Chains A and B, each alone.
Chain A
Amino acid sequence: MPKYKDMVQPVRATDEEMRHIHIDPVPDDEKCEKALQYLDEMRKKFRSFVLAMESCVKCGACAENCHTYLGTKDPNNIPTNRAELIRKIYKRYFTLEGRWFGKLVGAEDISLDIIEQWYSYFYQCSECRRCARACPFGIDTCEVTFVGRQILHWLGIVPKLHAHVGAAMERVGNHTNLPKPGIVDTLEFLSEEIMDEFGVEVPFPVDQPAEIMYIPSSADFLLNPYTLMGAGMFFTYIGASWTIPSTVTEAGNFGLLFDQMFTQRHNVTRLLDAAQKLGVKKIVWGECGHGWRAAKMYIPTLADRPVRWPITHLHDEIAYYIRTNQLKLDPAKNPKPVTLHDPCNYARACDLIENLRTVIRASVVDFREMTPNREWTFCCGGGSGILFDDPEMYQRRIQLSAKKAELVRATGVGANGDGILCAPCSICKAQLYPMVEEHKLGVEVKGLVDLLGRALVWK
């Protein structure tokens, strides 16, 4: 399955798995007709999509600003060409010029092959929005990928990975299928680890009445324990009344990535229910790029009810306490050279740029900026959850991370093999853990609050 007519494709969810995420797959002979119907609905709804369809001049400025094109050199991975996969259908059915002068303007009839092309290329785009930043008009090709994936989802075509994550979220409230006893156990274990390594007592309250609800990424329970430990240490250090809700132990929201209607809204509902039940006053978000975008930018329009809780990011809060000189930090506890990977969702969708630097400068001795960085950051290559493990897609992941590898190498932090690549986002971490090995960068991948937790001076 991972290849279709020379196109790489992620392994797709079975019909049964699609039903778990509330979709009855459309049979092949109805796919084209349905795709057009869904496309018609989308174009009437999203202006950002219509503008990407109707005002691109094909100048080509986006091409070399896309890490996917740079890594694969596949012309269909040029952002405007990726959008063209839908645009040629859009022109053919929804514009006068496409209906009258089809060939001339590049319009094309829909077919199953085209739908398969969508599946291949919209799951190579990591929705990082660097093309929107580069475009002279600000055309946001990410919106086209969103629409493409939404239509595919409704047709019943979703990668197995994304479908599993969607189903797990609905079942237990996180992406890793970790039930409440597992959560409590893991947190107790992390408390012990903190005691052993840092000599401090850090409890992790679960479902306790509290002022602050902390939403960690579920990957932090298994893959990035120091991120969760760092967050716990920070909350304990400042004496916060905080808790983790067992019903939402997930900062991510894969709805943003494959179904911005039902799935994404469902996760938002779940979060707000938890906040109401626990009676908290503020919600603080953990290290997760797409999840923070989904929370900060989409909850206001997906909540369907008044949202009483201000929602901030952990690093916005930490930076505030650093700026007001309330934390005692010893950067010498992090002596290795560190560079920062700006996660694309923080840097281009959430304006979480300066605060990351406030935290990192206060926590480490040797911080080196990457170039380009901030809102011009290149994606890690795993953005939007394209972390597929099958051999073909894994090879593609190596290509997609090539640009980032080049930039990390240029900072020189890994020159002696003891550098740190700070990537404060779960998807970035999951992508970069294997990729720094593949590209032999001589760096270890860490979260940002990991470094802060280590730098805290308790006495």
Chain B
Amino acid sequence: MSYFILQILPYVTMVVFTFGLLYRLGRWAGARIVHDITLSPFPQSNTQVLGIFGAELIFFRSLFSSDRALWVGAWLMHMALFAVIGGHLTGIYFLGKQFIYIGTSENLSEQLSALLGTTMGLIMFAGLLYLFYRRFAVAKVREVSTLSDYLHLVLLLSIVTVGNIMRLWEHDLGITYAPVKDYVTHLVMLMPLPMTHEVFTRPFFVLHLLFVQILLMIFPFSKLMHVFGMFAERWIINRVYKEPAPGLPNVDVQAARRAGLGLPSSEGGV
């Protein structure tokens, strides 16, 4: 089973994820931007458009203004998510020694990597729990939720919970960076690992990867597409718009006022 999840399923996952994504994005691209539905105030230059994209992406600016209570949870959860993804990439590639490039010792770097990973994992867990609670507790959110909305959160919580367990009880239940890097390298190079490799003996690692793969497979067929949807939608509604020049043809207000236009003829107008 472990062998299937770690050695065969990843290729299926990548195929489903990649082609599913292309299929979905292709559908979006097939439909057109028919009319100009830019949302005002209109940006006047592409720099300003970039500013809007940036503010939405980094600060969730619209949400900050429209629903502050949601913003707190959503922003924390997503920022922790970005950090966790970044941490996985660098931590595994550099074996936790990435911080030596900013001047730390190897030992300190590994400790920092562990500390940051644990913290971000816990923040993300708290954020997800908050979003999950909201779906039950806030009437308006309950009213817009379907079963799949809850299941998405359950899946994400499962991934994060297993990840956090591996972090918090690293020596008993977790796994070190080195065998994981070895595993990923083999996977990418299409080289099978021997059945005796350490990764197969770590049940929480196997479970973590199983959940992540399920997430990636449903990704293109679910609301998780909002990652791309945000850019696609803002590409439509945040565009440069240049106003036509004001000023009416052949109008000379001073001359009109000198001539007394509009004043009754008896008072010397026209």
A contact set with B: CB distance below 8 Å: 43-51, 54-65, 69, 75, 78, 80-81, 84, 95-97, 101, 103-106, 129, 132-140, 143, 195, 199-202, 211-212, 233, 236-241, 260, 281-282, 284, 297-298, 300-302, 310-312, 316-317, 319-321, 326-328, 347-353, 374-376, 458-459
Contact = CB atoms under 8 A, between A and B. Distances in A.
B89 interface: no
Interface of B: 24, 27-42, 56, 60, 62-63, 65-67, 70, 74, 134, 138, 140-141, 143-149, 151, 221-223, 225-226, 228-230, 232-234, 236-238, 241, 243-257, 259-265, 269
Contacts of A57: 149, 223, 226
Nearest to B250: A211
A308 to B, nearest CB: 12
Nearest to B256: A239
Contact of A282 (B42, B248, B260, B262): B248
Contacts of A376: 65
Interface centre among A61, A297, A375 (most CB of B within 10 A): A61
A459 B246 contact: no
A351 B31 contact: no
Given A59-B70, A138-B230, A237-B261, A281 B249 contact: yes
A271 B62 CA distance: 37
A57 B60 CA distance: 14
A313 to B, nearest CB: 9
Contact of B253 (A211, A212, A260, A326): A326
Given A51-B229, A239-B259, A320-B246, A138 B30 contact: no
A47 B33 contact: yes
A46 B237 CA distance: 13
Given A105-B146, A233-B262, A300-B36, A47 B253 contact: no
Contacts of A353: 40-41
Nearest to B254: A326
A51 B27 CA distance: 10
Given A45-B31, A239-B261, A317-B246, A65 B66 contact: yes
Contact of A375 (B41, B134, B251, B253): B41
B223 A56 contact: yes
Contacts of B149: 57-58
Contacts of A134: 62-63, 65-67
Nearest to A320: B246
A310 B31 contact: no
Given A48-B236, A458-B263, A348 B253 contact: no
Contacts of B248: 211-212, 238, 240, 282, 284, 317
A238 to B, nearest CB: 5
A236 B248 CA distance: 13
A63 B258 CA distance: 56
9 contacts: A44-B31, A48-B33, A58-B144, A64-B67, A201-B264, A326-B254, A349-B40, A376-B65, A459-B260
Given A132-B39, A236-B262, A319 B229 contact: no
Contacts of A211: 248-250
A451 to B, nearest CB: 18
Nearest to A296: B36
- Which of A239, A327, A348, A351 is the most central at the interface, judged by chain B CB atoms within 10 Å of its CB? A239
A59 B229 contact: no
Report which residue of A50, A101, A135, A284 has the largest number of chain B beta carbons within 10 angstroms of its beta carbon: A50
Contacts of A84: 144
Q: 3 closest pairs, A vs B, by CB? A: A55-B229, A239-B256, A134-B66
B262 A201 contact: yes
A96 B40 contact: no
B144 A50 contact: no
A97 B234 CA distance: 25
A214 B143 CA distance: 47
A279 B140 CA distance: 55
Given A237-B257, A298-B36, A326-B254, 18 more contacts: A48-B237, A55-B232, A59-B74, A60-B70, A63-B144, A65-B67, A78-B140, A97-B221, A106-B147, A134-B62, A134-B65, A136-B63, A195-B264, A237-B253, A241-B250, A316-B243, A351-B241, A374-B41
B226 A56 contact: yes
A186 to B, nearest CB: 20
B229 A316 contact: no
Contact of B234 (A138, A200, A240, A300): A138
Nearest to B246: A320
B261 A236 contact: yes
Contacts of B234: 137-138
B62 A136 contact: yes
A137 B28 CA distance: 15
Contact of B264 (A49, A55, A199, A375): A199
A65 B67 CA distance: 9
A51 B233 contact: yes
Contacts of B151: 104
B40 A200 contact: no
A226 to B, nearest CB: 16
Given A200-B262, A351-B241, A459-B263, A55 B226 contact: yes
B263 A43 contact: no
B67 A60 contact: yes
Nearest to A293: B37
Contacts of A260: 35
B28 A50 contact: yes
Contact of B37 (A195, A326, A349, A351): A349
Contacts of B30: 44
Contacts of A316: 243, 246
A95 B221 contact: yes
Contact of A202 (B66, B225, B233, B262): B262
Contacts of B41: 351, 353, 374-375
B40 A351 contact: yes
Interface centre among A81, A282, A350, A351 (most CB of B within 10 A): A351
A61 B230 contact: no
A311 B248 CA distance: 11
Contacts of A58: 141, 144-146, 149, 223
